[in-house]
Structures are given as C-alpha cells and as structure tokens.
Structure 1
Amino acid sequence: MSFLDYDFMQRALVAAVLTGLAAPAVGTYLVQRRLALMGDGLGHVALTGVAIGLATGWAPVWTSVAVAVLGALAIDVVRAKGRASADVALAMLFYGGIAGGVLITGLAGSTAATLNTYLFGSITTVSADDLWVVAVLAVVVIALAVGLAPQLFAVCQDEEFARVSGLPVRLYSMLIAVMAAVTVTVAMRTVGLLLVSALMVVPVATSQQLTRSFRTTFALALALGLVPSVAGVMFSYYVDVAPGASIVVASLIGFILAWPVGSLLRRRRAASTANGEDPRVTGAHVPAERHPHQHDPECGHPAVEHDDHTDYLHDGHLHAAHGRHYDEH
C-alpha cells in the first residue's frame, strides 16, 4: 500500500512542500542581512504564542503568529534605533520566549508533552484546517518574497543605497521581519519551532556554495528547501522517525555534499582571475543594439545619480547606459 493512500500523508507532503518553499524564500533575505539566527529567536517567541493559545482556548497558530510578529517588529526596531545590537535583541527573545511559553503552559495546567508537538513538529498530525492555514500563509509569504525581490534585495544588501534610491527602507525592513515571523509559524507543525531556523538557513547556505548572483541563489535555495522537505517526510514514514529531524538532516547532508563542489568552483574562479580572465564571461562580448529594459527618467526604476552617469536599480542590480549597451553590476 502506497503512503499516498493515507490522507494524513497527503496532507503532510503538501505541508512539507509549502514549508520547504517558504522557509528558504525568507531565509535568503535573513542571511543577506546577517540575521541567520532570527528564526531561532522567533521560534522561541512563537512558543509563548502557542502557550497563550492553549491557555485561552484560541487556535495556537493564530496566537503564535501574533506574538511572533510582535517579536519580529521588536527586533527590527531595536536594531534600527541602535540601542542594542541585533544579537542582543535575539538573545532576549531566546530567553524570554522559552521562559514565557513554559510559564504560561504551567499556569494553564497543560503538560510539557503538549508543547513537544510544536517544539519538534508533528507534520503527520496536520489536520485539513491546519493545512488551509499553512497554505494561505505560505502562499502569501512566497508571493511577497518573489514579487518584491528587487526591493527586498536592495534593502538587505545596502540600506543606505536603498534609501538614496528612494525605497521606503523602514517599511521593507519591517516587512521582512513580519515575513520571517509568519514563516516560523508556518513551519512549526512541519519541523518544529526549535528546528525551523535550520530550514530557513541551511538551503540558502548550500545554494551560496554553488552560485554567485542573488537570483540564482534564491531559485536554488527554494529547490534545496523543497527536496529535503519531501525526502524527509518520506524517510520518516518508512523508518518511523521524527519528520522534522529527518528534513533538517537531509538539508545538512545537501550542504555537506555541496561544500567541496563550491570550494572547487571558487578555486577555478580564482585561477581564472589570476590569469586575467573574468570567469563570468563565457564568450566574446557583443554589445546589444537594444537593452531588454530601456532605462531613462520615465522608466519607473529607482535612479541613483553619480557625477558622470546615472544608474537604475532593476532586478536587484544597477544598470548603467554605456554607448549602445547597458552594463549590469
């Protein structure tokens, strides 16, 4: 009998696919901002939200979303105001979130076993209602991560440059924080709150070993999040182990396999550069008669003025007109 004949496994696979895509989609921006551990901090804060839901009888998924969003915004405000570093803010979330969750759960009369479902994940117990919530939240997160990729990349790469370009940096910064909080909630039933950060970071780190541009890193990270998620669920079914742990271990195996390949690619690029070659150029340069995206004051892309030319921010890169072609950097 195939595992797809079971309704709970069908729901588990759908949840794994959604989580495997949403987590690295947001994780790409967190890694770019050097906030790789933000998922851990938000996971601990979301535990307090789960405890509030259990104590009040409300749906834990919604209370955890609310609390995680508040925690994410708090991190962003503290980081932006400069009153404490990001790692200090994350540490406070670590301690406060886990302590609040355990305390509220104890006061409500619930047992520690109740929290284990959310701490370590329980993807095979995802109900149809849970799946609808996960699907809606994941689709929104993925749509924002893909649709606003150029703007979010600019903010993560260089806030000052993004601000000069006219982008609302504070708004996009808060949006990234909220997306991270929602992703943590989406993944808590799949890999658990304690392991959610791994699915947000490891696929991105693996992708960075093999790629150079943001676009290819982003696309490959989604694939590297999807494959281990599905493989982990299938492995857990046949071997009878925790799905969350299986997913994370599969992701780590991918990183271990990619690391030597990435090292080889970097050595080849370094050797090409030492010989005066640009490893990004695979053939003779032929200036294009027309750039696919013409840039001028009316093109709608953010302009960055320089002394001798004007760059236009497009698709996460700066495009500048040079003669009959455009340079991208």
Structure 2
Amino acid sequence: MLEKLMMYFAFPFVRYAVIVGVLIALCSSLLGVTLVLKRYSYIGDGLSHVAFGALAIASVANLTNKMIIVLPITVFAAIMLLRRGQSAKVKGDAAIAMLSVGALAFGYMLMNLFPTSSNISGDVCSTLFGSTSILTLTVSEVWLSVVLSIAVLVIFILFYNRIFSVTFDENFAKAVGTKVGFYNLLIATVIAVIIVLAMNLVGSLLISALVIFPALSAMSVFKSFRAVTVFSAVSSVICAFIGIIVSILAGTPVGSTIVTADVFLFFICYLLGKIRG
C-alpha cells in the first residue's frame, strides 16, 4: 500500500489536492468555532448555495476565471447575512434558509436553460459534491488557494483577541470600544473566501461539514476557546489528509470521504467527552 501511495504522489495533481485540501480544512475549522458559537452554523450551507448560483452565472457567461463573479457575490451575501441577519425583518436563520434554497434553485435552472455541456447532471453533481474537481486543479488555482489560505490564517492570528470578544459578547465588545461592525464584516469576508475555496474540495452540499464537525468535536472534549480552536484545526487537517488519501487509494469521492472521516472523529470525541463527564 505504501508503494502504491508513493506512486500516486509522483503525480502533480495528487500533491496539489493534498496541499489545497489541508489548507482549506485548516481555514474552515478556525472560523467554524466562531460560527458555531455565534449560532451561525448553517451559514456555510447557505453561502455555498449562493456560490453555486454565482458559478452557474459564470458558466453561462463562459468566463474562464469564474472567481471574478463567484467571490464578490458570495462575499456580499455573507456580509448581508452576518451584519443584518439579526436586525432585519427576516431573521438570521430564516434568511439563510431562504437564500440557500433560492440560490440553489436559480443556479440549477440557469444550468438547464443555458447548458454549457452535454452532461448537465455530471456538472451539477461535481459542483454539489466535489467529486472530481479537487483532482483537476491547475497550478494557478493551487497558488490562489495557497495565497488566500495564508491570508485567512494571518487575519485570524492578528485579530484573534477581537474575534474572540465579538464571538462571545458583542454588547460588551462595543462597550469597551471594539469596532464590532468592522470585525463582523471581516469575519463575513473571510468566511465567504473559505466557502468559495472549499467548493473545489467537498462541493456545495458538504461545505457545512468542514465548518461544523471539527468545532463540535473539539467542544465535546475541551472547554477553553483556545484549546477548542487548536484541536479543531489539527483534527480538521488530519481528517482532510486521511480523507484524500483514502479516496485516492479506494476510488471513493473525495468530499464525501473527508466528511465521513470528520463524522467518525466527532463520534469518538463525543464518547470521550461523555466518559470524562
């Protein structure tokens, strides 16, 4: 098995998949803790469907660089959800559900009305579940993922204390002079970037798993914010690496295999938490 694995790693597309997969899993887990604590766990699902709709628009327009449309639309949706979700007439959870269903239906309708290939079902399946896209990355896509992932990590480390305060108590953060609006805007932008990157890894329908499961696994075992964040990041990277390797060796879908690894880890952590009391 080791020889077979080394043979696969001789191919550039396998190395690209591992690099991008690990980086995306790391970034998703860091912000996942914040989203779970802010009761916005489902926002990953909603934004991924927005990205799917934007991707359909870019495909119909025959754009070679789809990121030009997908990233700005997803960032805008994230900002609207996080900044106005609690003050608007349509509250956060309802807004996410409405946006999620509407964007998914709109994107699928566009792909059927203006088909760009003869295999619409295959294109939709690949976009929704990330079945093959992570194994067909180009060098430019890899570098883009690396740069954006590093930017996300730097932002999280630099503003860790502010993100911590905004996550737990926005009113107290305002009282001590923290610019809550700015940091919510920052969190929304970073989340949108992660969602767009993660579409290549697990697809639109499974992105929430990358955000939620590592955070919940860590919360089942640890209590402090720092410990939860560190464990969430480490476990997410390990699950992503194992998922990609298993999918290559066993021929299973990459996204589904990674999510399965995350689910198994969650149950293990949940049992450990119960044993520890």
Query: Which runs of 5 or more structure 2 residues have no equivalent in the other structure?
Result: none
Q: Which aligned pairs between 1:1-329 and structure 2 lie closer than 5 A?
A: 1=4, 2=6, 3-58=8-63, 59-110=65-116, 111-121=120-130, 122-265=133-276, 267=277
- What is the letter of the counterpart of residue 271 of structure 2? P
1:37-84, Cα deviation, whole Å (9 max, x unpaired):
000000100001111111112222332211111111121233242422
Query: Which runs of 5 or more structure 1 residues have no equivalent in the other structure?
Result: 268-329
- What is the letter of the counterpart of residue 151 of structure 1? R
CA contact (8 A) 2:83 2:181 kept: no
- What is the letter of the counterpart of residue 245 of structure 2? M
Give TM-score scaled by structure 1 length. Answer: 0.78
More helix by share: 2
CA contact (8 A) 1:209 1:258 kept: yes
CA contact (8 A) 1:49 1:66 kept: no
CA contact (8 A) 2:70 2:196 kept: yes
Deviation at 1:205, TM superposition (A): 0.4
- What is the letter of the counterpart of residue 208 of structure 2? S
- Seq. identity, %: 28
CA contact (8 A) 2:174 2:180 kept: yes
Deviation at 1:132, TM superposition (A): 1.4
Q: Between Structure 1 and Structure 2, whose CA radius of gyration is higher?
A: 1
Which consecutive aligned stretches of 4+ in structure 1 deviate over 6 angstroms post-superposition?
none
What is the root-mean-square deviation of aligned Cα atoms in Å? 1.3
Deviation at 1:34, TM superposition (A): 0.8
Deviation at 1:144, TM superposition (A): 1.3
Question: 2 CA distance for matches of 1:201 and 1:115?
Answer: 24
Give TM-score scaled by structure 2 length. Answer: 0.92
Q: Greater relative contact order (Cα 8 A, min sep 6): structure 1 or 2?
A: 2
CA contact (8 A) 1:51 1:60 kept: no
Question: 2 CA distance for matches of 1:227 and 1:62?
Answer: 31
